[in-house]
Structure 1
Amino acid sequence: TAWGEGQRDRYTIASYVARLAEQDGTPIEMVNYGQRGWTHFQEMVLYEQRLAEGPAPDLSIFYDGANELTTQSLLTEAVPSHTLAYTYAQKLAGGTIATEFVQEPGGRDVVADAWHAYSEHSAIHKVARLFGSEAASASTAQGPATDRDPGGGFVEGQDQEEDGGVSNYDITNQDGIDAGQVYERGKQLTMALSSQYGVRSLLYWQPVGFDGEPQRLARAELTDPTIDISDALAGHDDVFIDGGHTNEEGARLVAEAIWERLGPAVRDWYDDQ
């Protein structure tokens, strides 16, 4: 969502936040690392990479929620994964895995712990290990990838589009609980990284088009410092272009909700300079 699906570059959430900062007399440089379909665990891994490369930012902002629930609806257990795990697993089922390895960075610091946790509990890694332990060949005449069994760990009966993407996320109450819990696990690693590099982080839980029991159960798992702005678009159903993405007006409204807490943090930063 932060990536700006269906929005022009100057009218994404990040762009609106930057304009709000300038209007308040506290201009900031915003770098938008949002990606389509990513969950917080993926963001955390990228965050570690960027921090390691340096220099560290003064503030980091995370915006999550919708992909956490859709991802968990694909899985039979609460593990870190991503929205395309089912599709990738099907493609792996029809291919050849010649080499299997898990490489950890040296030293048992928070970075190694993050990578180890992701490698050990990621659904796509489990699928890769499954196929790597069996015969390293598979017939390519099994039909299209969307017809193949993706292997264990996935919910059966997912409807897919031609490109393999899942089109009918059937989100259960348990998926909501799992989404909140997996998010919290990733968040603890994110906050540890922020502490290690001296970065103040603000984390937001996003509004979605349909707010049912699974969504409420996910929010019930959230702990500080995550800021729940799931009601930021209440009464503005017309801004949604699908279950999670909004038009440019929706991005503006979300940016205003984000700035309510981000603004004071930016002003504090200016005061400290």
Structure 2
Amino acid sequence: MKSKLKFAFVLFRNVLIILLLLEIGLGIFYSYHDESGIDGNTERIIASGLYEGDGMDDESIKEIFRELRQQDMMWEPYLHYRFKPMNGKHNTIYENGLRKTANPSLKDSATALKIFCFGGSTMYSSGSRDEHSIPSKLAKLIHTNFPDQNVEVTNFGCHGYTRVTENIQLQRELVKNNIPDIVIFYDGVNEIISAHQNNEAGSPTNAYNRKKEFKIAHSYKKRIKLMIYSSNLYRFVTTMQRKLFTKSAYKQLSSRSDALATDIAKNYVGYVQISKSLENEYGFKVFNFMQPNIYSKKNLTEAEQSYYNDQKYYENLYKLSYETVRKDSTMIKDSTFVDISDVFDNAEKTVYFDFCHTGELGNKLVAARMFEYLKPVLTPKTTEAVTVSETEQLTTINQ
């Protein structure tokens, strides 16, 4: 009996040692694989011509995407998370978790006209340098056209943030008596992604993961499940299963029902109305910009067509939810709502590097469109500002 127990113990111990060694080995492999994969993907992005004319060499472009991979998050009450500080060559994040914005018009922060820019990774401007994010491009346009104005633009954009989260961000600033003069919301993409993930409109991005983690400290079962599902061994096994049965290393996502798209639209309209009430209460001006995506661009380049083909499972949610928002009677009457999903219709060059994120050219065009709507608010009543139209910019860019 003792010999059998001893044999079982030795076998169990050896199995654990083998699993541990496999876990460590796979961890080293995946660490190298993921890092090299970033550069491999960036090579494809470079080949698409996305950064042509931006004055960057290939290594600088790779550095931008390596820094994106290195970004980390920390817990933030009510928001789930925010950026940890980062002092990268191209991505700078301050101690408060906000990205650096070029502010050439800023003379005195205490008396400046404040513009708050809210959104997800598209407002953060993933894939661009600090000086070429949407908020930075907007700040530069303001400075060019209104050089005497004292203006401060703040980039509140963060990966995965939805309109729900952004409203909470704004409310937290208002409670701290940090009152803006102009508030910009740039949304549409993450509302669809979060709804697709959770199969429910209005939930934060990755909420299903937070649900799994809830009260994990009080449940050994949850701890063990999380340890298994986050292990390199589990990743290896599931990847091999997918390759064998679907010929792809990635999980194949399916389309969601049209009813979910309707719920997404209703949810978005509700949060626009909340921001409208805050506008009336605090006296700032709100702009709700509905952002473009790969499904709304009329003329796709070869690279963009491949992004479209890879992620068609989002298409019905985007097209139907956007159309529902446009036709909503409240949105039709709401002067704060601006649909700029057609902003790239005249762009002949590659604008996207996936189905929703844009390069620095895209940021420039988006900022130019936003500026056209901000102009009346910024223009002094006794002064006529000389502006550069978006059409003229597009003509120059596409030459």
**1:26-70 alpha-carbon deviations (Å, 9 max, x no partner):** 542101111111111100001000011123111111110100111
**1:107-158 alpha-carbon deviations (Å, 9 max, x no partner):** xxxxxxxxxxxxxxxxxxxxxxxxxxxxx553533322487xxxxxxxxxxx
Distance 2:341 2:128 in 1: 20
In structure 1, the residue matched to 2:159 is 36
Contact 2:351 2:361 in 1 (8 A): yes
Distance 1:82 1:72 in 2: 8
Among 183, 187, 194, the residue aligned to 1:64: 187
Distance 2:264 2:137 in 1: 28
Deviation at 1:75, TM superposition (A): 2.8
Aligned-residue CA RMSD (Å):
2.8
In structure 2, the residue matched to 1:193 is 278
Contact 1:174 1:214 in 2 (8 A): no
Residue 261 (str. 1) matches residue 369 (str. 2): no
Instruction: Give the letter for the 1:192 counterpart.
Output: S
Residue 216 (str. 1) matches residue 337 (str. 2): no
Distance 1:2 1:270 in 2: 32
Paired residue secondary structure (2:224):
coil
Aligned-pair identity (%): 26
Instruction: Give the letter for the 2:179 counterpart.
Output: A
Which range moves more in the overlay, 189-198 or 56-65?
Answer: 189-198
Change (3 A) 1:7 1:21: same
Contact 2:213 2:222 in 1 (8 A): no
Distance 1:269 1:63 in 2: 27
Distance 1:19 1:171 in 2: 40
Residue 141 (str. 1) matches residue 224 (str. 2): yes
Greater RCO structure (CA 8 Å; 6+ sep): 1
Please, what TM-score do these two structures have when normalized by structure 2? Answer: 0.49
Among 335, 359, 364, the residue aligned to 1:252: 364
User: Could you list the runs of 5+ residues in structure 2 that have no partner in the other structure?
Assistant: 1-121, 235-248, 297-314, 326-330, 384-399
Q: Which has the higher helix share?
A: 2
Larger Rg: 2
Contact 2:138 2:368 in 1 (8 A): yes
Matches within 5 A, 1:1-273: 1-25=122-146, 27=149, 28-78=151-201, 80-92=202-214, 95-96=216-217, 138-142=221-225, 143-145=228-230, 168=253, 170-211=255-296, 212-222=315-325, 223=331, 224=334, 225-236=336-347, 238-267=350-379
Distance 2:255 2:376 in 1: 39
Distance 1:92 1:217 in 2: 33
Deviation at 1:92, TM superposition (A): 3.6
Instruction: Give the letter for the 1:138 counterpart.
Output: K
User: Could you list the runs of 5+ residues in structure 1 that have no partner in the other structure?
Assistant: 98-135, 148-161
Distance 2:381 2:127 in 1: 33
Which range moves more in the overlay, 84-93 or 28-37?
Answer: 84-93
In structure 1, the residue matched to 2:83 is none
